[in-house]
Amino acid sequence: MAKNIVVLAGDGIGPEIMASGLAVLQAASEKSQYSFTFEHHAFGGAGIDAYGDPLPKETLAACQKADAILLGAIGGPKWEQAEKTPEAGLLALRKALHLYANIRPVKVPDALLDCSPIKSEIVKGTDLVVVRELTSGIYFGEPRQLAADFAVDTNRYHEDEIRRIIHQAFQIARSRRKKVLSVDKANVLATSKLWRKIAEEVAKEYPDCTLAHQYVDSAAMKIVQQPTSFDVIVTENLFGDILSDEASVLPGTLGVLPSASHSISGISLYEPIHGSAPDIAGKNIANPVSMILSIVLMLRQSFDYQELADQIEQACFAVMAEGVLTPDLNGTATTEEFTQAVIAKLEE
Ligand code: NAD
Ligand code: IPM
Ligand code: MN
């Protein structure tokens, strides 16, 4: 049976990298026993333009029935003043689907060693995962208020929300190097003190793994100083957002980092960690690797199509190793040229 993929291309470079990712998936799947149907829906700024709502009802309904969801990126200057912004729509989608576990793998392939602004002997072999809590914390805590002369945000965590994301981190660590680092600000924040206590409790259930703690300011420094020392980093919503963008400096661009978001119900959403990149949108120069690797994560984690995932991932890395790179990696390939090169590689 064909898998039903809901596609939310979104805004800015979202539709460009989505077209690339879907073309690669289509080419790879045609030669396989697997098939997919793609249902496109308006979301983000595109949802506002079409329906006056960044998360139109029919889009949410389609997502709830999908086998998996692919998201490009949302947002942009056009909608910054909207009553409900594209970003608010994204948070509403994550909340509605209970996508609490956001997995952001960061690998530096040898092909990109020269693209990193950090010395290659430091970044070589980097292979870490940021496990970011995605449906709670300061993004969602109440009360929140914006007045003319003061503003309030609330960081709030319930122990159950901490427990389930720490479990995710240990489960992932078990299939890797078995090292979990919990990142917090427990020297200051109450939420972090609770986070640390729950992390310690959960760790007892995983005696085959180690747990360490680090403050977020220090972890931010260490990620660029000694990236190969990390295996699994688990952290709250805001810290995970910041640390994962920081980690994109290791491969040299945000344009190669994918993510997977998992829920309790089983529905998962796959999206690059970056945004809609308004500065390069419409120029056919966006790096589609983040989207292609998000599709690879979907094939692995939602469908267990490991062979198809391997083929696409290997083709993508082989093309980069041959020096076919988009301008964010100092190359000259357009988005379409890179895509065609991956498709040609799949056919070799
Ligand atoms: P951004 O991630 O869109 O861009 C940051 C920088 O990285 C830019 O210079 C951009 O050109 C570059 N970049 C990002 N992706 C790239 C790619 N695939 N190829 C080449 N270069 C790439 O962050 P921003 O500029 O701060 O935000 C732009 C908009 O995106 C905002 O509206 C923001 O709210 C939104 N946003 C959305 C998401 C999402 O959809 N999940 C994530 C982050 C930001
Ligand atoms: C991300 C983005 C979002 C976030 C924004 C657009 C709401 O930065 O997906 O990383 O902060 O989660
Ligand atoms: Mn972000």
What integer best gives the mean pLDDT of the chain? 98
Q: 210, 179 in Cβ contact below 8 A? A: yes
The alpha carbon of 63 and the centre of ligand 3 are apart by a number of angstroms equal to 21
The alpha carbon of 53 and the centre of ligand 2 are apart by a number of angstroms equal to 18
Q: Is the CB of 273 under 6 A from ligand 2?
A: yes
Alpha carbon distance 133, 157 (integer Å) = 10
Give domain limits for the chain: 1-100+258-348, 127-249
Q: Which CATH number does 1-100+258-348 carry?
A: 3.40.718.10
How much is the pLDDT for 187?
98
Structure tokens at 294: 């998000």
**CA nearest neighbour of 249 among 233, 273, 271:** 273
Is the pLDDT score of 138 beyond 90? yes
When mean pLDDT is compared across 127-131, 138-142, 264-268, 304-308, the lowest value belongs to 264-268
pLDDT band at 236 (very low <50, low <70, confident <90, very high): very high
Residue nearest atom 37 in ligand 1 by C-alpha distance: 275
Is the pLDDT score of 326 beyond 90? yes
Alpha-carbon separation of residue 119 from 113, 122, 224, 244, 302 (angstroms): 8, 5, 10, 19, 36
Q: Is the CB of 42 under 6 A from ligand 2?
A: no
How much is the pLDDT for 274?
98
Alpha carbon distance 19, 16 (integer Å) = 5
Percent of the chain with pLDDT over 90: 99
Give Cβ neighbours of residue 102 (< 8 Å, ≥ 6 apart).
131, 132, 133, 134, 240, 259, 260, 261
In tens, the pLDDT along 93-121 reads 999 999 999 999 999 999 999 999 999 99
How much is the pLDDT for 98?
98
In tens, the pLDDT along 144-190 reads 999 999 999 999 999 999 999 999 999 999 999 999 999 999 999 99
Class of domain 127-249: alpha beta
∠ CA(291), CA(286), CA(288), 5° rounding?
Answer: 20
Is the pLDDT score of 1 beyond 90? no
User: What are the start-end ranges of the E strands in the chain?
Assistant: 3-10, 36-40, 68-73, 101-107, 127-133, 141-146, 151-154, 179-184, 210-215, 232-235, 258-262, 268-272
Name the DSSP letter for residue 205.
T
* Beta pairing partners, 38: 5
The ipTM is 0.99
> Binding residue per annotation — 278?
yes
In tens, the pLDDT along 289-303 reads 999 999 999 999 999
Q: Is the CB of 20 under 6 A from ligand 1?
A: no
| pTM over the 0.90 mark | yes
The alpha carbon of 45 and the centre of ligand 2 are apart by a number of angstroms equal to 14
What single-letter amino acid sits at 18? M
Q: Read off the pLDDT of each residue in 37-49 and give the average, rounded to a whole number.
A: 98
In tens, the pLDDT along 205-233 reads 999 999 999 999 999 999 999 999 999 99
How much is the pLDDT for 294?
99
